[in-house]
Amino acid sequence: MPTIAATIIQILAEEIIGGTLAPGSKLEEKVLAERFQVSRTPVREALREMGARGLIELIPRHGGVVANIGIAELADMLEAECELEALCAQLAAQRMSVVEKKQLERLHEQTEALVKGQDEGEYLTLNKKFHDVICAGTHNQTLSGMLRGLRDRLSAFRNAQAGTERRLAVSHEEHGAVVEAILASDGAAAYAAMRNHDARLSTKVLDRLRDSRHERTAPRTERPAAAHLHST
């Protein structure tokens, strides 16, 4: 039997990652305690752990809010994700076993039908699986763990925005290039293909955020020395 705190973490994390709990939402201990019919103790521990994971922001004596990412931070996270994921793709290409490759190939084929059917919801599920399989393919728990943690944090934010990605076909095609490179055990090609894929999505996400922020509130001046994103 898992501990109550662990259960709460799982539920809240899913809600944050899934977008039910929007970034900026306040998380009050008392409210959560009542909701889960438990005392504040396990709730506090859950919040603390989620804070350490970066899913929520935890300010002393002010409680927690679902991590609301500024434009500068988002740019950082997207860049890190892009680099990490490309690296993982490269390692996966070099290390995946035959059965792992087969699994990846099948997954990609299954997705094809969803693209034609424009089934966005199911597509996103398989999309997550796709990246997870590649993570596992690195045979490096540290790297894959870091990437997945980062993806979770970003996911929380992506899902809070409207439609995630209209043109499924383009994404699918880019995935195809990654799959092909991995099946051919071509690390460099896998790296390049994945980097290209993520970089394109990143600019889209950033653009959309910039637009939506511009309408409502002035952008927070968080990091004056702007990064030269993807200048490589």
Partner DNA sequence: GATGAATTATATGTATACATATTGACATCA
Partner DNA sequence: TGATGTCAATATGTATACATATAATTCATC
Rule CB under 8 A: which residues touch a copy of itself?
A: 2-3, 5-6, 44-45, 48-49, 51-53, 60-61, 73, 76-77, 79-80, 83, 87, 90, 94-95, 97, 139-143, 146, 150, 187, 223, 225, 227-228, 231-232
Closest to 71 in 3D by CA, of 168, 203, 231:
203
Binds 57: which of DNA, a copy of itself, none (CB < 5-8 Å by kind):
none
Whether 122 and 227 have beta carbons less than 8 Å apart is answered as: no
Binds 30: which of DNA, a copy of itself, none (CB < 5-8 Å by kind):
DNA
- Closest contact distance (angstroms) between CB of 220 and DNA is 18
- Closest contact distance (angstroms) between CB of 90 and DNA is 39
- Closest contact distance (angstroms) between CB of 30 and DNA is 5
- Contacting residues for 170 by C-beta, under 8 A, at least 6 apart: none
Angle CA(103)–CA(107)–CA(111) in degrees, nearest 5?
Answer: 170
DSSP 60: T
Binds 217: which of a copy of itself, DNA, none (CB < 5-8 Å by kind):
none
Nearer to DNA, 51 or 176 (CB): 51
Nearer to a copy of itself, 2 or 121 (CB): 2
- Closest contact distance (angstroms) between CB of 167 and a copy of itself is 27
- Closest contact distance (angstroms) between CB of 42 and DNA is 4
Nearer to DNA, 42 or 137 (CB): 42
Nearer to a copy of itself, 48 or 200 (CB): 48
- Closest contact distance (angstroms) between CB of 195 and a copy of itself is 12
Nearer to DNA, 41 or 141 (CB): 41
Question: Which parts of this chain interact with DNA (CB under 7 A)?
Answer: 1, 3-5, 27-30, 38-42, 44-45, 60-64
- How far CA 71 is from CA of 25, 29, 123, 134, in Å, comes to 18, 28, 27, 28
Upper half-sphere CA count for residue 73 (Cβ side, 13 Å): 12
Quote the CA–CA distance of 51 and 71 in Å, as a whole number: 20
- Longest Cα separation, the chain: 54
Upper half-sphere CA count for residue 75 (Cβ side, 13 Å): 14
Quote the CA–CA distance of 163 and 152 in Å, as a whole number: 17
